Structure 1
Amino acid sequence: MAGKVYIGVSGWRYEPWRGNFYPRGLAQARELHHASRQFNSIELNGSFYSLQRPASYAAWAEQTPPGFVFAVKGGRYITHMLKLRHAQAALGNFFASGLFALGPKLGPILWQFPPNLGFHPAVFEEFLSALPRTTAAAAKVALGRDHRLKGHELLEPQHRQRLRHAVEVRHPSFVDPAFIALLRRYQVAWVVADTPQPWPLYEDVTADFVYMRLHGATELYKSRYTGEQLDRWAACIDAWRRGGQPQDARLVSFEPPPAAGQRDVYCYFDNTDKLHAPDNARELMERLGLPLTPSAAGRWTP
């Protein structure tokens, strides 16, 4: 038995993709519809830059097939401006802004931290403990919203489910077994982030799922992954989805993760600038034997 595997790209609106990944003449309003028939998941990153609206989330859900999943990026106002401090109202705004309109297509929530934010145990303990683990708990957090939504809010979950959270760190102080232990305590995934920048690249398993972001192995956001590199990532995913970990895993902590018979894996390519992300995602799907299109019933079955 193995966990589900979701592979896709980070975002879907990129000018260079038009006439390349997207068929020439495809209306921009149809781009998500097209992309969601090529991948079983996409990372929704507009939510990082600003609060979205329920109507937008509902439209995105409507355009994608059954079984499709969105990963949703947490707001940079929380992570980059407030730096997690005094964030109760901001968290309320985020969860009230329309995420519930995705229904069962709401996947993990990604919290990306800036390179100048280091590991402060008390701050991260408070933040991780405040993250809701179910849509019912998220609805309670949403009640703490403030005036910024101006009536554009959705407070009632349309689908009851667990919520998963993942964190991407970019400061060397997080290379600390204490941080790995903290993530495991709250069942939050350490993001496996591949990048040529001097950001931490480790592969510790800290939750019942694994979250990957592949930014480009040699040139940030640009370089294409070679067949050999994709072979290794495929082997890693295969180990993780079966509840294990790669023999050559790069680890912060040598304390083993909690035993698991299987784990779901979410993997997003962010090497977008030179059109490589869609190709690399499809190549990785092939290596893992994942379906390259929805079933005849129009449903993704990862």
Structure 2
Amino acid sequence: MARLHVGCAMWTHKTWPGRFLPPSLPAKERLRAYAGWCNAVEGNTTFYATPARETVVAWARQTDPGFRFVVKLPKVVTHERRLVGVEVEMRAFLDAIEPLGERAVLWTQLPGSFGPSDVDTLGRFLRRLPAARRRAVEVRHPGFFTDAGSTSTLEAALAHADAEWVPFDTTVFFQRPPTSAAEEDAWAKKPRLPRRTRALTDRPVVRYLGRDSVEETVEGWRPWTEVVAEWLREGRSPTVFLHTPDNDEAPALARRFHDDVRALVPDLDPLPEPEPLEPATLF
């Protein structure tokens, strides 16, 4: 049965205690509380260091079997060595995340300098990953989006490896200049790429960056609710991550996105209700 997973870029944030998480919850227990709001999370911390296997065991224990992790490959693999000569690092990484089992999607985020001429390298790397592991790739080189031949070449390589193309939709964010410190920081760091809405597998992954304004963020995701609804009707099970520059409201936004899609696909299962916290005001 098709299912929609929604989540955020992290499972804890400085503004969430007392609003989305209990105010005095130890860090090692926050994933469990976050999982009451969302049923997926981006594993961005694994980009900086491969976690201890015991840490990943704790992640698995705090989430139910339907929870999805999209875990980023270490930067030494993707950015420093550009997928070449990384056998030792990948063995260590795959062993560390093994406790997550089928709940984990391997997320290969590539630097903007990794372009169409590097697709053969990507294809060889993807085909060496364990067959049972879901894999997804995020590219940032403009050529993959603006040159039809390069788009087709990448899609063919991904299809051959049964890998998904992860779009990072920043189009709404860049519609007008930043108005806060968080937006200014994102303005300097985030990629400016066209919106892409084509799914290659039965489990597409989408990353959407809105604004600090809740209203602008919600209005901007309207095209995605239609796309995701259609994917669900086709029997796909997408995962959508909701970002804003400050991420202050991200868990509530993720649930709101799920509700908006469910309005278009009424038979979609609702998310579980999180335990009530004080204060109750979210926006």
TM-score (norm 2): 0.78
How far is the alpha carbon of 1:36 from its aligned partner? Answer: 0.5
Partner of 2:188: none
Partner of 1:16: 15
The answer to whether the 8 A contact 1:113-1:169 is kept is yes
Q: Deviations over 1:15-62 (max 9, x none)?
A: 122233323333333311110111111122221110111100111111
2:138 alignment partner AA: E
Partner of 1:199: 193
Across the aligned residues of Structure 1 and Structure 2, the Cα RMSD in angstroms comes to 2.2
Paired residue secondary structure (1:281): helix
Partner of 1:69: 68
The answer to whether the 8 A contact 1:169-1:199 is kept is no
Distance in 2 separating the partners of 1:274 and 1:223: 10
Paired residue secondary structure (2:71): strand
Distance in 2 separating the partners of 1:74 and 1:121: 17
The answer to whether the 8 A contact 2:6-2:254 is kept is yes
Between 1:18-27 and 1:65-74, the stretch displaced more is: 18-27
1:115 aligns to 2:125 (yes or no)? no
* Aligned sequence identity (%): 29
Between 1:185-194 and 1:264-273, the stretch displaced more is: 264-273
Cα 1:131–1:25 change in 2 (3 A) is same
Partner of 1:298: none
**Aligned match for 1:165, one of 117, 132, 135:** 135
How far is the alpha carbon of 1:79 from its aligned partner? Answer: 0.5
Distance in 2 separating the partners of 1:42 and 1:81: 25
The answer to whether the 8 A contact 2:168-2:209 is kept is yes
The answer to whether the 8 A contact 1:169-1:200 is kept is no
1:172 alignment partner AA: P
How far is the alpha carbon of 1:173 from its aligned partner? Answer: 2.2
Distance in 2 separating the partners of 1:30 and 1:207: 33
TM-score (norm 1): 0.73
How far is the alpha carbon of 1:6 from its aligned partner? Answer: 0.8
Paired residue secondary structure (2:238): strand
Q: Deviations over 1:225-256 (max 9, x none)?
A: 5433333222111111222xxxxxxxxxxxxx
Partner of 1:210: 204
Residues 218-257 of structure 1 mapped to structure 2, 5 A cutoff: 219=211, 222=212, 224=214, 225-243=216-234
Paired residue secondary structure (2:219): helix
Distance in 2 separating the partners of 1:286 and 1:67: 18
Paired residue secondary structure (2:104): strand
Partner of 1:149: none
Cα 1:223–1:91 change in 2 (3 A) is farther
Looking at secondary structure, tell me which structure has more helix per residue. 2
Aligned length: 242
The runs of 5 or more residues in structure 1 that have no matched partner are: 135-162, 244-261, 296-302
Paired residue secondary structure (1:285): helix
Distance in 2 separating the partners of 1:183 and 1:205: 11
1:199 alignment partner AA: L
The runs of 5 or more residues in structure 2 that have no matched partner are: 175-190, 263-268, 275-283
Partner of 2:266: none
Q: Deviations over 1:263-295 (max 9, x none)?
A: 110111232624132121010111233423169
Partner of 2:184: none
Paired residue secondary structure (2:85): coil
Paired residue secondary structure (1:17): coil
Distance in 1 separating the partners of 2:143 and 2:82: 15
Partner of 1:124: 122
Distance in 2 separating the partners of 1:4 and 1:107: 16
